[in-house]
């Protein structure tokens, strides 16, 4: 959407300006600008052609073995990606059970997409489906151990599946928890306020890598032997608590921007605390901090790669594990894998940021009205 | 609903509640699919440290939990179908075959170098088969026992063939690439100092940087463990122009480890490895196993469980070794399939040849 408005504007301008005049006005208007333009063009010339050459022009597109990518000067090795694509998406999930992951992905899209499109009816039903029914169905489908669904331990999950499970759990859990913590931190009840402050400052004060390490390595030593909560579950809880502390501070920023008069007026009308917060203060506050919220989501999405250190293979970890396969060890292997992983992460993060831009603009128009 | 926030919060609470309700039933619980897992849990914990307990729990669970690396070529790495392959992974399969008669009753748990020991101590895994160097402190202080050596590794050098370097003595005055902060760097210093040879070291933070530097000719040699050198060579622009010196300057015996205090489980692990070595010495392979079962050689008969009751003294069936060999082959087959000449790694047997062929691999007899 942002792209459209920019191109729309320049299109209307170019009716009156020839490209030459446009370039003169915008790129070569002064000596300083001319030098900057030339320097930028030189930098682009230095970087873009080699990147395009590696990823597209000298890339190897077909083949089934590592020999295909061993030609001198060969670029990105796509056969490595194609051959391992199942690993990148599903990890070591048993091949005959992969339909369960696909079904989970499809159901996820079916409940999330209608939620993201504004103005569709039956939102309440959709919310219930998304937040209650879908997680339960997804757990049963993915973990199994039900009639007709053989169990698949989480140690065999991997790749994009783990990335999405960790990120979505973190995102879905952190927003409501963060809102509650933010309200708690501004509460007038000292016990609740102290609890929220301690919680937030504790989780903000430790690095995520420490949290995951504690959950994975230290926790089993404290628990009685034989009692081992699932490794992935430990990480999910760690990530959710960690991100909710960040979310709380983002939401608190929004709450601070709302004049106290809003809340006082709502209370004067006879609304309860929760009604006033839920219907007057929070809708305005959250709208202010959409960029911050999405920022946290994107950060969380990328932080999921840290689960590798506790032996869970997310997309990046799985990619690195596949690089260890001697049948695919090639000089450009690491570069190929990292570029592919970066591409996948970029698609998700860019999608999130575009959606947040769209929501911001949509909510802005309602405010102008 | 009037208040979307309340709906959201209620939704989350129910969702979290659902999670709590659902999860204990699934395979995440360690006791597996036992219907009365909850009831037997208490009793299980009480008896946990008793000798022979690991085998009982493995049987009850239905599979071995095997700790492997997060990807080391030829030792434990997932292949493109997601199956763990490599010497370390195959050793766990051999144990599963010895215990259950089915090599697939094993689950692999990839572990980083940092959390591998905790995983074994806390009982998350039954055996650590993860290219771990057997050292005295690990054996005596960490509460494990190593059961043998699956691969005799050691630090060596990779050089360009064109450079005409044949032995480490030719490396005098050479520039050597390595990684910082590893024992590799210390071994290098020890070795050259003790021989009074001069050298220049160029250390890098990451393995990949060191390889690039070597490939671009910034140094004359690259050093790390020999098994790693073979994998590294594949990443060079022209692997065939480089060679790995046969000399080894440090001892890195890699082997599987088990928790201390369960001699029965330790015996099963140790003798599975010994049986694979013995099988190679006796010429028993996964292919000729059926003929060998008719053999009159008393050593073969004892190994394959036709004479004596060697398996049942460890609490497993007498054809344990036959099952293990059928599943993964003898030690030589396992070596050749994963790291040997026919694989991209192309590692020579060297120290890992049988003692009868000038190597170090020697198994005590089955009798």
Q: What share of chain B is helix, strand, coil (3-state, %, to 5)?
A: 45, 15, 40
Q: How many CB pairs under 8 A join A and B?
A: 206
Q: Which of A269-278, B42-51, B66-75 has the lowest mean pLDDT?
A: B42-51
- Is B39 in the A-facing interface, judged by CB distances under 8 Å? no
User: Mind listing the pLDDT tens digit for each residue in A199-254?
Assistant: 999 999 999 989 988 887 777 777 776 666 788 888 898 999 999 999 999 999 99
Q: Which of B51-55, B249-253, B333-337 has the lowest mean pLDDT?
A: B51-55
Q: Taking a C-beta distance cutoff of 8 angstroms, is the pair A79, A94 a contact?
A: no
In whole angstroms, give the CA distance from residue B185 to residue B224.
9
Q: Taking a C-beta distance cutoff of 8 angstroms, is the pair A142, A152 a contact?
A: yes
Average model confidence (pLDDT) across chain B? 85
**What local confidence, expressed as pLDDT, does residue A249 receive?**
95
Query: In sequence order, what are the residues at sequence separation of 6 or more whose Cβ sits closer than 8 angstroms to the Cβ of residue A98?
Result: A86, A90
How many C-beta atoms lie closer than 10 Å to residue A205's C-beta?
9
User: Mind listing the pLDDT tens digit for each residue in A53-85?
Assistant: 998 898 999 888 888 888 888 889 999 999 999
For the domain made up of B155-244, give the CATH fold: D-Maltodextrin-Binding Protein; domain 2 (3.40.190)
- Is B234 in the A-facing interface, judged by CB distances under 8 Å? yes
User: Mind listing the pLDDT tens digit for each residue in B184-200?
Assistant: 888 899 999 998 889 99
Cross-chain residue pair A228–B23, CB shorter than 8 Å: no
Q: Identify the CATH homologous superfamily for domain B46-152+252-357.
A: Periplasmic binding protein-like II (3.40.190.10)
Q: Tell me the domains of chain A and their CATH numbers.
A: 80-93+152-368 (1.10.3720.10)
In whole angstroms, give the CA distance from residue B191 to residue B243.
20
Q: Which residues of B touch A324 (CB under 8 A)?
A: 69-73, 77-78, 231
- Is B241 in the A-facing interface, judged by CB distances under 8 Å? no
Q: How distant is the Cα of B70 from the closest Cα of chain A, in angstroms?
A: 6
How many C-beta atoms lie closer than 10 Å to residue A312's C-beta?
26
Beta bridge partners of B66: B108, B127
Q: Which of residues 74-113 of A touch B (CB under 8 A)?
A: 83-84, 86-87, 90-93, 95
Cross-chain residue pair B4–A136, CB shorter than 8 Å: no
Q: Which residues of A touch B45 (CB under 8 A)?
A: 224-227
**What local confidence, expressed as pLDDT, does residue A203 receive?**
93
Instruction: Please say if the pLDDT value at position B221 is more than 70.
Output: yes
Instruction: Please say if the pLDDT value at position A157 is more than 50.
Output: yes
- Is A140 in the B-facing interface, judged by CB distances under 8 Å? yes
Compare CB distances from B28 to A136, A154, A279 and report the shortest one's residue.
A154
Q: How confident is the model at residue B14 (pLDDT cuts 50, 70, 90)?
A: low
Q: Where in chain B is the domain with CATH 3.40.190.10?
A: 46-152+252-357, 155-244
Q: How distant is the Cα of B269 from the closest Cα of chain A, in angstroms?
A: 21
Q: Which residues of B touch A308 (CB under 8 A)?
A: 70, 112
User: Mind listing the pLDDT tens digit for each residue in B25-43?
Assistant: 443 444 333 333 333 443 3
Q: Which of A19-23, A37-41, A284-288, B113-117 has the lowest mean pLDDT?
A: B113-117
Q: Which two tokens stand for residue B25?
A: 């039933």
Mean pLDDT, to the nearest integer, of B341-358?
92
Query: In sequence order, what are the residues at sequence separation of 6 or more whose Cβ sits closer than 8 angstroms to the Cβ of residue B261?
Result: B49, B51, B143
Q: Which residues of B touch A183 (CB under 8 A)?
A: none
**What local confidence, expressed as pLDDT, does residue B3 receive?**
61
- Is A173 in the B-facing interface, judged by CB distances under 8 Å? yes
Cross-chain residue pair A139–B71, CB shorter than 8 Å: no
CA-based torsion, A175, A179, A184, A186: positive or negative: positive
- According to DSSP, residue B132 is labeled E
Closest CA to B155 of B120, B192, B119: B192
In whole angstroms, give the CA distance from residue A73 to residue B237.
9
- According to DSSP, residue A279 is labeled I
Compare CB distances from A326 to B69, B122, B345 and report the shortest one's residue.
B345
Dump strand ranges (E) for chain B.
64-68, 77-78, 84-85, 106-110, 127-133, 144-146, 151-153, 155-160, 175-179, 200-204, 221-225, 242-244, 252-259
């Amino acid at each position: 959407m942002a792209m459209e408005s920019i191109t729309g504007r320049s299109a209307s301008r170019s009716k009156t300006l020839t490209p030459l005049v446009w370039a003169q006005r915008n790129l070569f208007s002064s000596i300083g600008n001319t030098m900057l333009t030339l320097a930028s063009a030189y930098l682009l010339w230095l970087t873009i052609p080699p990147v395009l050459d590696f990823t597209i022009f000298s890339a190897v597109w077909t083949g089934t073995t590592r020999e295909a990518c061993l030609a001198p000067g060969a670029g990105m090795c796509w056969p490595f990606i194609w051959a391992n694509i199942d690993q990148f998406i599903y990890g070591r999930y048993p091949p005959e059970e992969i339909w369960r992951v696909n079904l989970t992905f499809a159901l996820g899209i079916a409940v999330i997409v209608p939620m993201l499109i504004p103005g569709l009816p039956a939102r309440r039903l959709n919310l219930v489906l998304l937040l209650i029914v879908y997680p339960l169905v997804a757990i049963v489908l993915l973990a199994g151990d039900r009639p007709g669904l053989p169990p698949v331990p989480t140690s065999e999950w991997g790749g994009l599946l783990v990335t999405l499970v960790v990120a979505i759990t973190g995102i879905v859990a952190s927003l409501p928890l963060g809102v509650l913590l933010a309200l708690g931190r501004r509460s007038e009840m000292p016990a609740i306020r102290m609890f929220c402050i301690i919680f937030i400052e504790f989780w903000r004060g430790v690095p995520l890598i420490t949290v995951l390490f504690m959950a994975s390595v230290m926790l089993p030593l404290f628990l009685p032997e034989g009692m081992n909560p699932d490794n992935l579950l430990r990480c999910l809880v760690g990530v959710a608590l960690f991100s909710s502390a960040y979310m709380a501070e983002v939401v608190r920023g929004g709450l601070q921007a709302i004049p106290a008069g809003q809340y006082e007026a709502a209370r004067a009308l006879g609304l309860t605390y929760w009604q006033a917060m839920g219907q007057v203060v929070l809708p305005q506050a959250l709208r202010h901090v959409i960029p911050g919220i999405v920022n946290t989501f994107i950060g969380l999405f990328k932080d999921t790669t840290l689960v590798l250190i506790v032996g869970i293979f997310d997309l990046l970890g799985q990619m690195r594990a596949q690089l260890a396969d001697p049948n695919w060890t090639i000089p450009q292997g690491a570069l190929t894998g990292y570029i592919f992983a970066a591409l996948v992460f970029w698609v998700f993060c860019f999608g999130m940021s575009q959606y947040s831009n769209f929501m911001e603009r949509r909510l802005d128009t309602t405010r102008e009205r | 609903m009037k208040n979307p926030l309340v709906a959201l919060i209620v939704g989350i609470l129910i969702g979290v509640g659902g999670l709590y309700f659902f999860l204990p039933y699934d395979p995440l619980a360690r006791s597996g699919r036992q219907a009365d897992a909850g009831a037997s849990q208490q009793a299980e914990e009480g008896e946990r440290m008793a000798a022979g307990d690991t085998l009982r729990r493995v049987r009850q669970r239905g599979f071995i939990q095997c700790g492997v690396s997060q990807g080391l070529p030829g030792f434990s790495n997932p292949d493109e179908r997601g199956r763990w392959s490599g010497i370390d992974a195959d050793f766990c399969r051999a144990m599963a075959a010895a215990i259950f008669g089915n090599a697939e009753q094993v689950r692999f748990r990839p572990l980083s170098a940092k959390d591998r020991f905790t995983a074994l101590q806390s009982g998350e895994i039954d055996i650590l088969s993860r290219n771990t160097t057997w050292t005295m402190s690990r054996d005596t202080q960490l509460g494990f026992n190593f059961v043998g050596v699956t691969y005799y590794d050691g630090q060596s050098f990779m050089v360009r063939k064109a450079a005409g370097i044949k032995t480490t003595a030719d490396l005098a005055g050479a520039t050597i690439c390595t990684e910082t902060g590893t024992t590799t760097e210390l071994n290098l210093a020890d070795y050259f100092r003790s021989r009074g040879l001069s050298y220049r070291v160029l250390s890098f933070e990451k393995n990949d940087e060191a390889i690039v530097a070597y490939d671009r000719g910034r140094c004359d040699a690259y050093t790390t463990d020999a098994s790693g050198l073979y994998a590294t060579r594949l990443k060079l622009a022209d692997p065939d122009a480089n060679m790995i010196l046969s000399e080894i300057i440090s001892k890195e015996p890699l082997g599987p480890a088990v928790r201390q205090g369960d001699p029965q489980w330790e015996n099963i692990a140790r003798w599975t490895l010994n049986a694979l070595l013995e099988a190679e010495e006796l010429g028993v392979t996964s292919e000729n196993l059926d003929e060998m079962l008719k053999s009159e050689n008393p050593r073969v008969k004892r190994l394959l469980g036709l004479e004596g009751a060697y398996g049942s003294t460890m609490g497993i069936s007498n054809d344990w070794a036959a099952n293990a060999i059928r599943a993964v082959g003898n030690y030589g087959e396992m070596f050749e399939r994963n790291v040997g000449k026919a694989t991209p790694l192309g590692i020579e047997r060297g120290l890992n040849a049988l003692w009868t062929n000038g190597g170090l691999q020697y198994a005590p007899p089955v009798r």
